[in-house]
Amino acid sequence: MIFAISGCGGPSGVSQPVVEVSPDFFGISEELSRQLRVNRREGNSGGRLIFTTLVNLDDLRQTSTFGRTMSESLATQLFQHGYGVVELRKVANIMIQAKNGEMVLSRDAARLAQQYEANAIVAGTYSLTPKTVIINVKLLDVRSQEVLSVAGMELERSAAINYMLADDVGLVDGPVSGYER
């Protein structure tokens, strides 16, 4: 029996990536996931996690497609690394309350965490500068509100990121970031 396999390659015969997506949210979230795992304090299990949507630091009740997409891709990455993920929609309004500009867990957080047998909540913010987006994520113990781990990074703004932030005002096109190349 003879099998023939053929495919398409680039003009030089060098294989090309099948799909290149911009922005690479899974690459970005993999880095955030890595930081959360590496920075986690000894003795505290991340275990089963409830995710909130990343919100705008200047208005903790506001998010965007960017915030929702980052939360989704971060949940995907942590799930792939063995964490349990609890899927709750519109959880940000229930879980997080603004208090003097700080995020704190609402009283419903502990009740929901107990109901879903979760030990921690992943919450985060993003901040906009004219050329970048700054992302900060925290892993919070549900019962004590102790910060178990942190992660953060700054991304160059691009047309794709600005499009996902379109709910906000004053966006301008920026260069393609290193993660989006």
The residue with greater pLDDT, 55 or 181, is 55
Q: Which amino acid is at 77?
A: Q
Q: For residue 113, what is the enclosing H or E element?
A: helix 107-115
d(CA 119, CA 158): 36
The model's pTM: 0.70
For residue 180, which phi and psi values (nearest 5 degrees)? Answer: -100, -5
Token pair belonging to 77? 């990455």
Question: Domain spans of the chain?
Answer: 25-168
The residue with greater pLDDT, 4 or 35, is 35
At which residue do the structure tokens 């113990």 appear?
A: 141
**Conformational region of residue 159, where left means phi above 0, alpha means psi within -120 to 50, and beta covers everything else:** alpha
Q: What is the pLDDT of residue 12?
A: 52
Q: pLDDT band for 18, please (50, 70, 90 cuts).
A: very low
Share above pLDDT 70 across residues of the chain, in percent, rounded to a whole number = 63
Q: Is the peptide bond before 23 cis (omega within 30 degrees of 0)?
A: yes
Decide if pLDDT at 53 tops 90. Answer: no
Decide if pLDDT at 50 tops 60. Answer: yes
User: pLDDT tens, 156-172?
Assistant: 999 889 999 986 444 44
Cβ atoms < 10 Å from Cβ of 10 = 8
Closest to 177 measured CA to CA, from 116, 139, 112, 132:
132
Average pLDDT, the chain: 74
User: pLDDT tens, 129-157?
Assistant: 999 999 999 998 887 878 999 999 999 99
Which parts of the chain fold into alpha helices (H)? 25-39, 65-80, 92-95, 107-115, 159-164
* CATH (residue range 25-168): 3.40.50.10610
d(CA 162, CA 165): 5
Decide if pLDDT at 89 tops 80. Answer: no
Decide if pLDDT at 52 tops 70. Answer: yes
